[in-house]
Amino acid sequence: MLGGMVGVAVAAQIGPAGTWLPSLRRALAPRLCGPMPPGTVAITFDDGPHPLGTIAVLDELDRLDWKATFFVLGSQVRLFPDVVTETLRRGHRVELHGDDHRYLIARPPWSAAADLERGIDTIGEVTGRVPTWWRPAYGVLSGPALLAARRLRLRPVLWSAWGRDWRAAATRESIVGDLEAGDLAGGTVLLHDSDVMSDPDSWRSTVAALPLLADRLAERGLTVGRFGD
């Protein structure tokens, strides 16, 4: 009986992590791909704010006349609150990526909840608003974190296409190619505006990829909409 209880506890802890796999996510939890209408694409960025990367991304978004969503880390917000303020000033959304960038499935329930709470408090202090959307670190969910998110009124979301732009070897062509391998129409694009958890200066390739991505989206008749609106 004890073994069965342990098995249930383990399943509750790590079971939701299976949605990291695109095929399972689309089949079992399509809402995690992002609630965008057909013909529209949400552009999102993780791991900021970053004093160089985020500002460079913001400048390119201005040029493209795009509005995006930035999933920020509380630990980074405490370091660079002015960058968050600037992100909001330019009309973008700031949502929660967590406080620290650690796997939730490796955390006990109270630690997962504390991470979300501290991240929420930090964002609230800087922005004056409570985040409503949450993307877990590495896109890996856990049962206790989902329960905590529900209590805190956070809506979890992952992505439908990612650019693998955290790698030093990534180029603007490879980033856009990886994005096109996912679901763009009505989907959510995952990119990064920070190299805190990525190879140094990887955000430069991300910035370079945005104009090419704009061309590809235009060819498909897709428009960029601000996530969560």
Residues belonging to the active site: 46, 192
Instruction: Judge contact between 39 and 90, C-beta under 8 A.
Output: no
Phi, psi of 176 (to 5 degrees): -65, -35
Q: φ and ψ at 183, to 5 degrees?
A: -95, 110
Angle separating helix axes 203-219 and 172-180, nearest 10 degrees: 50
With 0-12 / 13-18 / 19 or more C-beta atoms within 10 angstroms meaning exposed / middle / buried, residue 117 is middle
Q: Max alpha carbon distance in the chain (Å)?
A: 62
Which stretches does DSSP call E strand in 50-176? Answer: 69-73, 93-98, 133-134, 155-156, 161-162
Do the Cβ atoms of 57 and 206 come closer than 8 Å? yes
Q: φ, ψ for residue 174 (rounded to 5)?
A: -70, -35
Compute how many other C-beta atoms are within 10 angstroms of the C-beta atom of residue 215: 9
Q: Per DSSP, what are the bridge partners of residue 224?
A: 41
Q: How far apart are CA 117 and CA 148, in angstroms?
A: 9
